[in-house]
Every structure is written in C-alpha cells, then in structure tokens.
C-alpha cells in the first residue's frame, strides 16, 4: 500500500455515477473506498476491477441513513488507508412517481433520512478527519445534488427535489463554515443522466421520454458527471468552494 496516495471515499459507489467516480478517481491515482448498502457483489467486483489494473480499492458496507453505519464506515476507511483526503456524498434514493398529495409520511421521512440526514452525517465524519482545526490536513468534499432542486419535479417526486435543495444549502453553508480549515465543499448538479436511478423510480423510459426536451437533445452520461466531480476534488479547483456546478446539458 502506498500511504502517500490520496484516499477517496464514495458513498453509493457500486453503480451508476458513483461507480464512474470510483473508476476515474482510481485512474487519477486515488486509493478508493467504495461504499454500498445492499449490492455487495457489484461493489466487490468494482474493487477487484480497480485493483486488477494497479489501483487500490476496497468495498465497505454502510447505510448512510444509519448513524452507527456511517461511523463504522469511516472507521473502516481509517483502518484500511489511514487517511481521508476526499469524500463524495453520492448515495441517495428516489421513489416512484407521485404527487405530494399522494405521499405518505413514511415515504417523505425515508427520503429525508437517506438523502439529507445521511449526507449531513457523512459530511460530519469527513470534516472530523480533514479539518486542520481538528488535526487533519485538509481535503475536498463534493455533494451530489440534482437539477430537480431548481426545477421542483412537479408531478414526479417533489420530495426528492426538496431533499436535493437541502444538499445545495448544506454545500454552501458547510463550505463557508470550514473554509479556514483546509476543506473545500462543492456540489455537482446533474440533469437527466443515463443511469438506473430512473428504473428504480419506476420510470425506466424517462431518459428516452425527456431527451428531446433538453437543449442538447440528449441525456448526460455517468462519466460526464464523474469528470465534473473529479475536477472539483482536484487541485485545479483550489479556489472553488461553495459552488454548485450544473452538469445538465443546459436544462
């Protein structure tokens, strides 16, 4: 193990945008911790893939909506790599298409527990390890927002949009809070992107249905979003904090 290499933890890293971030980060020289909650096979296969081409990676289970899991996940990274230089708050859920007047309290609470509370808990643990005020060496955090935060997702999932609005506020507030502690905090806000999140929300045809309405007449890819994330983590973005970068094809 090369202890001089930077270490990155990506929540929800076993598939979609998270997996694309892990692959690009590994190619850029990061040691990568791949968080998953249920798909152990996919996370393990990705870690093996990265290691097969000379990278350093491991899969770590944890439900970001569970505080004990979050703490254990970060402690596992401490044990495996001994440091944390970068963190991507990527894990999140969407639910089936519904109007607000059709949503149960349980649905909304689950959405906020995972997408909002989970992101806060993970950011808390990342700051504890990175902050120069707490003995760390600084670092970078990137949160995954969504164009839904601006657009509201009426008639589809306003609860998801609201959770991503909270991520935007977390990004701006935390960035200012830790700006003098060596930590930069930014967000990437994807638009319609070709991942399986649409199928998990009961709309596998959503990309095909929406793409002609987009200014660029196509959906984005997970790699395009990942490239924006890697830029914000990099030294090339050293004077950028509190930014929300739209990766939405003009939407």
Concerning whether 160 is annotated as a catalytic residue, the answer is yes
Q: What is the CA radius of gyration of the chain?
A: 17
| CATH architecture observed for domain 7-247 | 3-Layer(aba) Sandwich (3.40)
Confidence bin at 214 (pLDDT 50/70/90): confident
Domain coordinates of the chain in residue numbers?
A: 7-247
Confidence bin at 19 (pLDDT 50/70/90): very high
In eight-state DSSP terms, residue 247 is E
Three-state secondary-structure class, residue 97: coil
Decide: 88 and 21 in contact? Cβ < 8 Å. yes
Is residue 71 pLDDT above 50, yes or no?
A: yes
Q: Which of 36, 157, 160, 239 is catalytic?
A: 160
- Give dist(CA 135, CA 4) in Å, integer: 18
Average of per-residue pLDDT values in the chain: 94
């Amino acid at each position: 193990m090369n202890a001089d290499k930077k270490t990155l933890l990506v929540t929800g890293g076993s598939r979609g945008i998270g997996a694309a971030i892990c692959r690009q980060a590994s190619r850029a020289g990061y040691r990568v911790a791949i968080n998953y909650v249920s798909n152990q096979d996919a996370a393990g296969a990705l870690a093996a893939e990265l290691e097969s081409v000379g990278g350093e990676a491991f899969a770590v289970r944890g439900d970001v909506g569970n505080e004990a899991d979050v703490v254990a996940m970060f402690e596992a990274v401490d044990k495996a790599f001994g440091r944390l230089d970068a963190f991507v708050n990527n894990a999140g859920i969407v639910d089936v298409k519904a109007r607000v007047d059709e949503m149960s309290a349980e649905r909304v609470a689950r959405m906020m527990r995972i997408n909002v509370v989970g992101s806060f808990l993970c950011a808390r643990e990342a700051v504890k390890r990175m902050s120069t005020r707490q003995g760390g060496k600084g670092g970078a955090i990137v949160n995954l927002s969504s164009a839904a935060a601006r657009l509201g997702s009426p008639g589809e999932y306003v609860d998801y949009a609201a959770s991503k609005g909270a991520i935007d506020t977390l990004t701006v507030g935390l960035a200012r809070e830790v700006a003098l502690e060596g930590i930069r905090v930014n967000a990437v806000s994807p638009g319609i992107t070709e991942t399986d999140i649409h199928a998990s929300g009961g709309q596998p045809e959503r990309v095909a249905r929406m793409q002609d309405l987009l200014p660029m007449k196509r959906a984005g890819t997970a790699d395009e979003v990942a490239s924006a994330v890697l830029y914000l983590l990099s030294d090339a973005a050293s004077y950028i904090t509190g930014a929300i970068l739209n990766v939405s094809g003009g939407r």
